[in-house]
Copies of this chain bind each other. A is one copy, B any other.
């Protein structure tokens, strides 16, 4: 009595479930849409996925995925060469660059150290980072890493390996603007209290 899904549909469901935060139910909803959407829409999505892979390559300097070498950030003469902001990936780079709040250079690590996931320092763009610190132009390294175990591990690793003489700073931890205090976790409240400032 039970209906088996066709092999091609099962293959699509499996491929969709490799995407972040897509479980079986979400995959079924997406597959159902892909089955019934206009053919041009599905072809367009498949082509767009392959095209970003073919056109965007890591910038040889900072690692940001770009159409041009060096990328638009590294080739921007208005930026401050003495400030270098270290981020985990593209998401974080766009978050900071689009907010327009940082006028230095960036360095994309391409991940975070995670013993649990088997990601060691060698998997990250750390050699490239150290190479950028050799000529003495960078005086401050801003660690814009997430306040998670992996972010902390990576920050401590950098603290131990970055050449002396370069100032290391981290993003402040506290209450986000507009947040409801009663929705924040105890850890954040604790750090916000520790970091309280005179008014």
Chain A residues packing against B (C-beta within 8 Å)? 1-9, 11-12, 14-16, 18-21, 26, 28-37, 39, 41-53, 55-56, 65-67, 72-73, 78, 89-91, 93-94, 97-98, 100, 103, 110
Interface class of chain A by DSSP: helix
> Do A3 and B89 touch across chains, with their CB atoms under 8 A apart?
no
Are B18's CB and A89's CB within 8 A? no
For the complex, give the distance between the alpha carbons of A47 and B49 in Å: 11
Rounded to whole angstroms, the CA-CA distance of A29 and B94 in the bound complex is 12
Of B8, B12, B32, B103, which contacts A67 at CB under 8 A?
Answer: B8
Q: Whole-angstrom distance between the alpha carbons of A72 and B21 in the complex? A: 32
Indicate if the CB atoms of A100 and B2 lie closer than 8 Å.
yes
Complex contact A98–B3 (CB within 8 A): yes
Copies of the chain in the assembly: 2
| A3 B110 Cβ-Cβ under 8 A | no
Contact among B26, B35, B65, B100 for A52, CB-based, below 8 A: B35
Q: Name 29 interchain pairs, CB-CB below 8 A, sorted by A.
A: A1-B103, A2-B98, A3-B73, A3-B94, A4-B72, A6-B56, A6-B65, A6-B66, A8-B56, A9-B56, A11-B51, A12-B51, A15-B49, A16-B45, A19-B30, A19-B34, A20-B29, A31-B52, A32-B89, A32-B90, A34-B49, A34-B52, A35-B52, A35-B65, A36-B89, A36-B110, A39-B53, A42-B49, A46-B50
A56 to B97, CA, bound (A): 44
